[in-house]
Amino acid sequence: MSRRLVQGNTACVEGALWAGCRFFAGYPITPASEISERLSYELPRVGGKFIQMEDEIASLAAVIGASVGGLKAMTATSGPGFSLMQENLGYAAMAEIPCVIVDVQRGGPSTGLPTSPSQGDVMQARWGTHGDHPIIALCPSSVAEVYDLTVEAFNYSEKYRTPVILLMDEIVAHMREPMDVDGRPQIEVVDRSKTDVPPEWYFPYDETRSVPPLVSFGEGFRYHITGLMHDRAGFPTERQDEIDPWWKRVFAKINDSMDQICLYKKDDGLEDARTAVIAYGCTARSAAHAVKMARARRHKAGLLTLQTIWPFHDALIGELVSSARRVIVPELNLGQLALEVERVLGRSRVRRVNRVDGELITPRQILDAMEGG
């Protein structure tokens, strides 16, 4: 088994290629540029297409078009570009177009701290585009997880016909770690489901199926795609008996699969922990060391690392930290995911550890919160 030193952004590229990505459209932006740079010469080698677009708005539009044409497609950006993509992200959610958006978070708002880490796009990933919509957002905390979760992002996107966000941060994207190159590509790859009906019977938004098959344009199936509310054939509608089933189906396909979508890691001490830490991304690395330090001082401490940020599995997370009297939520923002944890557990049990100055939260800061009165 071969091992080599791999950068986070490179692992994202390799995961995307293994998952079957054959189209990328994007615009260079720190700290995500290495993804587009590497795909610019890797994709042509496997028969794929790379396009540098004029901006991030056009980038996601091109990705949506490529997906409708039958290709697994992705783009990569950072906070300012992610903001520009929100309109087309809503379009992909409404039209149920599979696509992957990588957001390598950096300090903000606006141009902010382009080369510094942040976790400030957590709420934007969930609520950045207007209207009610389900979304899936995955968050790796190591280079190996970047590879794995990139593959899963494509799998979820194709399986549930939805845009999926890979929410990285600058630290994870730019650090290098040893990775088992030969062992990683054993992850199962999910491809788009095919219809078993003739063209005249095909409905791309058939309400009788939780995830109707999406037939690619050019295969002889004629149907309509719009950002407007639509009927089962894709044509605009204002009929309540067509709108209501669509809403129920689109939310149910995610909510009914929460146990399969929501990925996490827990350490051995979590089950009987008196103090639990819930972390994600690069901050989970500091949290792991803080928990180790706390145990050395004979504290009952445990760590829950979330790999799926959205949807937020209320019942599961409440159960996993049920023994804890105190729950610490460290994050590189002023308390975005902490809001969800507080909603589930109550504010009195939750203690925040926050930082937004472009530096990492240290294990010592988390330990102090664990030991504080």
pLDDT at 187: 83
How high is the mean pLDDT of the chain? Answer: 95
- Give residue 2's pLDDT: 74
Domain with CATH 3.40.50.970 in the chain: 3-186
- pLDDT mean over 7-12: 97
Q: How confident is the model at residue 49 (pLDDT cuts 50, 70, 90)?
A: very high
- What pLDDT digit, counting tens, does each position of 189-223 carry? 999 999 999 999 999 999 888 999 999 999 999 89
Q: What is the dihedral of CA 264, 267, 268, 270, to 10 degrees?
A: -80
**Structure-token pair, residue 330:** 């460290």
Please check the confidence at residue 1 and state whether its pLDDT lies above 60: no
| Average pLDDT of the residues in 161-165 | 98
Does residue 144 carry a pLDDT above 80?
A: yes
Task: Give yes or no for residue 372 having a pLDDT over 90.
Answer: no
pLDDT (0 to 100) of residue 186: 74
Tell me if 94 sits within 8 A of 130, measured CB to CB: no
DSSP conformation class of 236: B
* Predicted confidence (pLDDT) at residue 22 exceeds the cutoff of 90: yes
**Does residue 3 register a pLDDT over 90?**
no
SS3 73: strand
> Whole-angstrom Cα distance, residue 108 to residue 125?
15
As given in the structure block, the two tokens for residue 178 are 């040893």
> Quick one: angle between helices 56-68 and 86-95, nearest 10?
20
Domain 265-371 grouped into CATH 3.50.50.60 = no
What torsion, rounded to 10 degrees, do the Cα atoms 192, 198, 201, 204 define?
20
Instruction: Evaluate if residue 156 carries a pLDDT over 80.
Output: yes
First to last CA, the chain: 49
CATH of domain 3-186: 3.40.50.970
**DSSP string for residues in 243-300:** HHHHHHHHHHHHHTTHHHH--EEE-TTSTT-SEEEEE-TTHHHHHHHHHHHHHHTT--
Residues 306-355: tens digit of each pLDDT: 999 999 999 999 999 999 999 999 999 999 999 999 999 999 999 999 99
**Cis amide prior to 31 (ω within 30 degrees):** yes
d(CA 28, CA 11): 18
